[in-house]
Structure 1
Amino acid sequence: MTQAKSIYKQFYQKLILATSLFIIILSFIFYGYTKSTIYEELKESLLSDAELIFKISQNADTSSNNFNIITHNGINVDLVTLKHIPEVPYSTYELNNNHFMQILYPFNDQKNQYIKIVKNINSSIKMLTKIFNNILLISFGGLIMVVLYAFTVSKTLLRPIIQITKKLSNMDENYLTQINKANLPIEFHPLADSINSLTTRIETNIKFKKELFIGVAHELKTPLAVMKLKNEVTLMKDREAQKYKDTLKLTVEQINDMNKMISSILDIGRAEGAQFEKPEEIDLVQYMQRKTNDYRMLSSKKKIILTFFANVNHHKVTLQPTLLNQIIQNFVQNAIKFTPDNKAIAIRLEKTKENTTISITDDGSGIDEAIDLFAPFKRMGEESGAGLGLFLAKNAADALGATISLKNRTDGKSGCIATLVLKNKTPQKKQ
């Protein structure tokens, strides 16, 4: 079983590791630079002494080799003869727990003589040791500060997540509230927007479900009451055969209406299942062209001319085709249902930078815009139906993150415009 990972723990561990490495590397760089600087100063001092001795000795007797009188204390000067010329004129060594630096400076090339200067550098070594110890002490203190800082920063960064988590844990289907972005850092605003959008959809869905249940109970109660009353009246006394036939005919009609309603309710259940369908990439223009050709079989029965227009030749989108089909099919079927014979229906697809709009314009009688036609059991005109088609389309649009609307035409002609607006998703860059 995979162990759960803590973002808080991972963050402060990585922060401590990264900052600690930075402090250690910086400390070594500083110590190395300090040591190099001190050694360079020692070399320059020895070289300066060697040049001074060489200059003075040019006009002096060097047979005694007594050069110490012109140098500082702690420096030993000697004139040596070497068969092999050293590649590196400077060297350091340790003798009897004392540290020395030596320089060999050319004195007489013909005789292979060199001025040998040896300096005791114990004081410099002690100073470097103190510097190193101080750096270790400061680094250790810095590491403690880093640990405290890492814990503080981790808690500060996680505080908005804790606030959001606490807010969500207090929510249920009866208490859904929006997250206030004013108290959150800018980086968490997209997360808050997504959660607020989700809670709005849940709240809307719960509201529609309640309306649906109430509507179903009301819609089923009425025909059942009619059938019960009609049958009771019929059974009160003996009647002619035709009366019984009329009663049974009415009962069958009522049952057929209830079956239509039950089928629509089942469609709602299928639509909710389609929300979890795996999104597919489709060419929306080609998809709408195929659908238009399919719907022409229905429109031809009423001799309605069905046309399709698009401002692009191709447009790739990723979505659940079942949900899209539920919306388009409902819009087109309603348009055909309420458009008189020998009229026209226009389907248009328009792609802009931000959105893709699909509109279905009919030549029907229009709608009453004061009525919420997307609520369950809202019917238009005198045509038969369960009144759940637009409710189903609204749920499908919400699942797609799209918006739908119904408005009357504004070009002076009678009719309705059903619109679906899909947001264009920005393609993610490949890492």
Structure 2
Amino acid sequence: MKLKSIYKQFYQKLIVATSLFIITISFLFYGYTKATIYEGIKESLYNDAKLIYQISVNNEQTKDNFNIITNSGIIVDIITYEEISDVQYKDYKQNNDYFIEILYPFDVQNHKFIKIVKNVNYAIAMLNKIFNNVILLSIGGLIMVILYAFTVSKTLLRPIIQITDKLSNMDENYLTKIDKSNLPIEFHALANSINKLTNRIQTFVMFKKELFVGAAHELKTPLAVMKLKNEVTLMKQREPERYQETLKLNIQQINDMNKMISSILDIGRQEGAQFEKAEELDLVQYMKIKANDFRMLSAEKKITITYYASVNNFYTSIQPTLLNQIIQNFMQNAIKFTPVDKSIAIVLDRINDRAVITITDEGIGIDESIDLFAPFKRVGEESGAGLGLFLAKNAADTLGATITLKNRTDGKKGTVAKVELLNNPHLKTISKVKTDSRALF
């Protein structure tokens, strides 16, 4: 298969189109000039014939009457021609000379016509010069068109070449932003998209590296504890209780490692969920069902969960598995860090074309100076692999959503987790509802 060059295609089409335009204009100009000259000669002959006719009609027909305009290569005669009755023109060549002839009615009843023959060599010579000049101008124009096509092609394609070169030199170890200052404004949207994608790739690669290093470290630590405890236990004979204690420690460490391995497997499943087909769902009803599910989970700690929606319906097309990972992680953390007999509030708002889901708890709060979305970042003394928020962030990036974690600013202790479905590529038309409609579940 022959490879096509957009640069080559562009300048070839530009040359062909402009060349055809120049050639067409040149021939139209030459044809118009020729027709104008010939019309001028014919009009001059017609006026001469008319003058001869008027003089001859008003006076006696003499030789002098017919020879009043015999200068400048003009021959005047009177002939009999029975086959015509009106003015006739004819141009012809004879012995390398060019002539135009007019037959003007003189005595219609007797079929007599004034015949004037004019040598038009001078006009033909002038037309040849015009034609040669037109050809030279066309050739010069074609040369300029070719140079113009190459110049314009390079100028217009330079931004594409610049972006292509930039992208072709990138890899996971060398990711740089595209400088928009030297790009035409039409390419700014493309540069912004590429820069956003580059940032996502850079973040993804950084998190992946941190994930693998962290996983190795997190798995190595319990293994080292188990190995040391087992070695110490086997150094001498001990009571059965000591062996049981060691086995219990091993089981605890194995359980922790299983949790971590499950979280790592969730990351693999999430990458598969990115290709899940989007489904249409009503976020209001979806969050109502989720709130009911988490009420059963929070019943053990007597935590009250309330759900409030500012609209009756909010339809969207979205990948539910990825959305569930975000909501589930936020709710599990809220329940985990919220004390007994406290409350968690879930609020769904519509802001323009965005769905904003806010989960507010009465827990211990967070350290906002720490990037909690990085892998293996933990809050408080609760157990966990530290990969939940990392999974939530990856899911949000895939959905085109924005998630944030902040401390409460209303004077109470706790955390506010927010999900904004912003610039979601799967977002469909939102149902038309009154702005004052409310739903409390």
Bucket of the pairwise TM-score, normalised by the shorter protein: 0.7 to 0.9
Query: Paired residue for 2:298?
Result: 302
The 2-side partners of 1:239 and 1:156 are apart by 84
Residue 265 of structure 1, CA deviation: 1.0
Give yes or no for contact 1:66–1:78 (8 Å, CA) kept in 2: no
Residue 174 of structure 1, CA deviation: 3.0
Unaligned runs of 5+ in 1: none
Query: Paired residue for 1:79?
Result: 78
Q: Which string of whole-angstrom CA distances, capped at 9 and with x for unpartnered residues, describes residues 3-38 of structure 1?
A: 221111111111111111111111111111111211
**Selected match of 2:359 from 358, 361, 384:** 361
Spell out the pairing of 1:273-352 with structure 2 (5 A cutoff).
273-275=272-274, 277=275, 280=278, 282-283=279-280, 286-287=282-283, 289-290=285-286, 292-303=288-299, 304-307=304-307, 309=309, 311=311, 313-317=313-317, 320-339=319-338, 340-341=340-341, 343-352=343-352
Query: Paired residue for 1:198?
Result: 197
Give yes or no for contact 2:283–2:314 (8 Å, CA) kept in 1: no
Distance 1:261 1:87, change over 3 A: farther
Give yes or no for contact 1:65–1:78 (8 Å, CA) kept in 2: no
Give yes or no for contact 1:326–1:393 (8 Å, CA) kept in 2: yes
Query: Paired residue for 2:268?
Result: 269
Give yes or no for contact 1:103–1:116 (8 Å, CA) kept in 2: yes
Give yes or no for contact 1:278–1:320 (8 Å, CA) kept in 2: yes
Give yes or no for contact 2:291–2:305 (8 Å, CA) kept in 1: no
3-state DSSP of counterpart to 1:399: helix
3-state DSSP of counterpart to 1:100: strand
Distance 1:96 1:320, change over 3 A: farther
Which AA in structure 2 matches 1:362? T
Tell which deviates more after alignment, 298-307 or 175-184: 298-307
1:180 counterpart = 2:176: no
The 2-side partners of 1:279 and 1:133 are apart by 69
Which AA in structure 2 matches 1:242? E
Residue 66 of structure 1, CA deviation: 5.4
Distance 1:94 1:269, change over 3 A: same
Spell out the pairing of 1:16-35 with structure 2 (5 A cutoff).
16-35=15-34
Residue 426 of structure 1, CA deviation: 9.1
Residue 239 of structure 1, CA deviation: 3.1
Which AA in structure 2 matches 1:386? A
3-state DSSP of counterpart to 2:237: coil
Which AA in structure 1 matches 2:205? I
Q: Which string of whole-angstrom CA distances, capped at 9 and with x for unpartnered residues, describes residues 340-372 of structure 1?
A: 55734324142425xx24323223323332322
Unaligned runs of 5+ in 2: 427-441
3-state DSSP of counterpart to 2:58: coil
Give yes or no for contact 1:271–1:323 (8 Å, CA) kept in 2: yes
Aligned length: 420
The 2-side partners of 1:108 and 1:321 are apart by 102
1:149 counterpart = 2:148: yes
Distance 1:308 1:93, change over 3 A: farther
Residue 71 of structure 1, CA deviation: 4.5
3-state DSSP of counterpart to 1:289: helix
The 1-side partners of 2:248 and 2:107 are apart by 136
Distance 1:67 1:220, change over 3 A: same
Q: Which string of whole-angstrom CA distances, capped at 9 and with x for unpartnered residues, describes residues 368-409 of structure 1?
A: 323221111122344332110111121222334432211233
3-state DSSP of counterpart to 2:78: strand
Tell which deviates more after alignment, 258-267 or 328-337: 328-337
Spell out the pairing of 1:195-234 with structure 2 (5 A cutoff).
195-234=194-233
Query: Paired residue for 2:99?
Result: 100
The 2-side partners of 1:377 and 1:213 are apart by 10
Which AA in structure 1 matches 2:307? T
Give yes or no for contact 1:306–1:346 (8 Å, CA) kept in 2: yes
Distance 1:27 1:246, change over 3 A: same
Residue 279 of structure 1, CA deviation: 5.9
3-state DSSP of counterpart to 1:421: strand
Q: TM-score, normalization: structure 2?
A: 0.84
Identity %: 63
Distance 1:305 1:238, change over 3 A: same
Tell which deviates more after alignment, 183-192 or 3-12: 183-192
Q: Which string of whole-angstrom CA distances, capped at 9 and with x for unpartnered residues, describes residues 278-309 of structure 1?
A: 664x445x156235414522323425435252
3-state DSSP of counterpart to 1:50: helix
Which AA in structure 2 matches 1:359? I
Tell which deviates more after alignment, 143-152 or 416-425: 416-425
Tell which deviates more after alignment, 55-64 or 6-15: 55-64
Which AA in structure 1 matches 2:218? E
Residue 263 of structure 1, CA deviation: 1.0
Which AA in structure 2 matches 1:346? I
Query: Paired residue for 1:392?
Result: 391
3-state DSSP of counterpart to 2:348: strand
Distance 1:140 1:252, change over 3 A: same
Residue 321 of structure 1, CA deviation: 4.5
3-state DSSP of counterpart to 1:325: helix
The 2-side partners of 1:108 and 1:315 are apart by 95
3-state DSSP of counterpart to 1:61: coil
Q: TM-score, normalization: structure 1?
A: 0.86
